Amino acid sequence: MPESDQVVLDIQDLKKYFPIKRGFLSSLHVGAQRRMKFIKAVDGVSLSVKRGEILGLAGESGSGKTTTGKLVVHLLEASAGRILFNGKEVLNLKGNQLKEFRRQVQMIFQDPYTSQNSRFTVFKWIQEPLLIHALGDPEWQRAQVIKTLEIAGLKPATQYLDTFPHELSGGQRQRLAIARALVLEPQCLVADEPTSMLDVSLRAGLIKLIRTLTVDHGLATIYISHDLSLMRYTCDRVAIMYLGKIMELGPTERILKHPKHPYSRALISAVPIPNPLIRRKRVRLTGEPTLSHELIPGCRFQPRCPERLKRCEMDPPVLEEFEPGHQVACWNA
């Protein structure tokens, strides 16, 4: 077990480029291989997560949040970069070491409806990861399943063991997904929009659960969401992504109150303020993120940026520390 305050996950210059599919005929052209185009879904992301900390990943659709999460849990192979887990490189792991790493990092997906096997009872569904990893005997496994269901808020667990996931409500199914991730007692959790399919009334309970689990079990958690208003109460720090790059990263309160990047300002201006006496000027973004961003030489937000400088059109800004723990990638910050 890592010490508290220890960095569990350290991602350095991580990249994932997806080749853009071409028609059969165009792929026969001489030099087609050389001219192959890529979607730079994740393009040089560096961040770290400490034990007991929740780091939020925010940004519009297509900014590379899910791809980053999948790279962390090895559901996708990185094109370049490093991932250190408790100080050890994990991108080249194979065999038993890879299996052990997979036990230690778990991902919860947005939609529990498609990810749950309808032929399994709740008991079998939560026991399955223990069987895959050959952990404990049947008696220990049963106790572990019951303990984990209760931690995930499905109490009393014995009442759920013989039911089927499709008999549960949406909120209960999302708790079941959390239990399946937790039963292996991981050190790191990636939660990808875990509440977006749920009624607003159920969201607060689930967010609180993820917060409690992270603190009580010393998890290093990445919480992915478009919704910055949810992050205020959930995340210790937030990274704001745009087209595969981190534009700003820092303590949640700091970023929500004093965003430095024009993109963060635009996203945050849409977040409601809890105090009705305070009004904030809304920054409206025009256009959409462009997929041909690899053709843009400078900052990839520049075509939509209300504050762009001449330099932004040519020079890609680098993520730099603006004040301790607060990084921004903007020439105009």
Ligand X SMILES: Nc1ncnc2c1ncn2[C@@H]1O[C@H](COP(=O)(O)OP(=O)(O)OP(=O)(O)O)[C@@H](O)[C@H]1O
- Residues forming contacts to ligand X in the complex (CB under 6 A) are 18, 39, 41, 59, 61-67, 226
Residue 159: C-alpha distances to residues 99, 120, 186 (Å): 32, 16, 25
Nearer to Mg ion, 66 or 187 (CB): 66
Nearer to Mg ion, 78 or 312 (CB): 78
Q: Is 114 exposed, middle or buried (0-12, 13-18, 19+ CB in 10 A)?
A: exposed
Nearer to Mg ion, 66 or 234 (CB): 66
Phi, psi dihedral angles at 287 (to 5 degrees): 75, -175
Nearer to ligand X, 61 or 275 (CB): 61
Count of residues in contact with Mg ion, rule CB under 5 A: 1
Residue 250 near which of ligand X, Mg ion, none (CB within 5-8 Å, type-dependent): none
Residue nearest to Mg ion (CB): 66
Nearer to ligand X, 66 or 187 (CB): 66
Residue 18 near which of ligand X, Mg ion, none (CB within 5-8 Å, type-dependent): ligand X
Q: How far is the CB of 302 from ligand X (least distance, A)?
A: 18
Residue 83 near which of Mg ion, ligand X, none (CB within 5-8 Å, type-dependent): none
Residue 116 near which of ligand X, Mg ion, none (CB within 5-8 Å, type-dependent): none
Residue 62 near which of Mg ion, ligand X, none (CB within 5-8 Å, type-dependent): ligand X
Q: How far is the CB of 193 from ligand X (least distance, A)?
A: 7
Q: How far is the CB of 58 from ligand X (least distance, A)?
A: 9
Residue 136 near which of Mg ion, ligand X, none (CB within 5-8 Å, type-dependent): none
Nearer to ligand X, 44 or 153 (CB): 44
Q: How far is the CB of 48 from Mg ion (least distance, A)?
A: 21
Q: How far is the CB of 142 from ligand X (least distance, A)?
A: 36
Residue 330 near which of Mg ion, ligand X, none (CB within 5-8 Å, type-dependent): none
Q: How far is the CB of 314 from ligand X (least distance, A)?
A: 24
Pick out residues in 40-99 that bind Mg ion (CB under 5 A). 66
Residue 39 near which of ligand X, Mg ion, none (CB within 5-8 Å, type-dependent): ligand X
Q: How far is the CB of 60 from ligand X (least distance, A)?
A: 7
SS (H, E, C) the chain: CCCCCCEEEEEEEEEEEEECCCCHHHHCCCCCCCCCCEEEEEEEEEEEEECCEEEEEECCCCCCHHHHHHHHCCCCCCCEEEEEECCEECCCCCHHHHHHHHHHEEEECCCHHHHCCCCCCHHHHHHHHHHHCCCCCHHHHHHHHHHHHHHCCCCCHHHCCCCCHHHCCHHHHHHHHHHHHHCCCCCEEEEECCCCCCCHHHHHHHHHHHHHHHHHCCCEEEEECCCHHHHHHHCCEEEEEECCEEEEEEEHHHHHHCCCCHHHHHHHHCCCCCCCCCCCCCCCCCCCCCCCHHHCCCCCCHHHCCCCCHHHHCCCCCCEEEECCEEECCCCC
Nearer to ligand X, 62 or 251 (CB): 62
Nearer to Mg ion, 66 or 195 (CB): 66
Give me 62's structure tokens: 């297509």
Count CA atoms within 13 Å of residue 329 on its CB side.
Answer: 24
Q: Rule CB under 5 A: which residues touch Mg ion?
A: 66
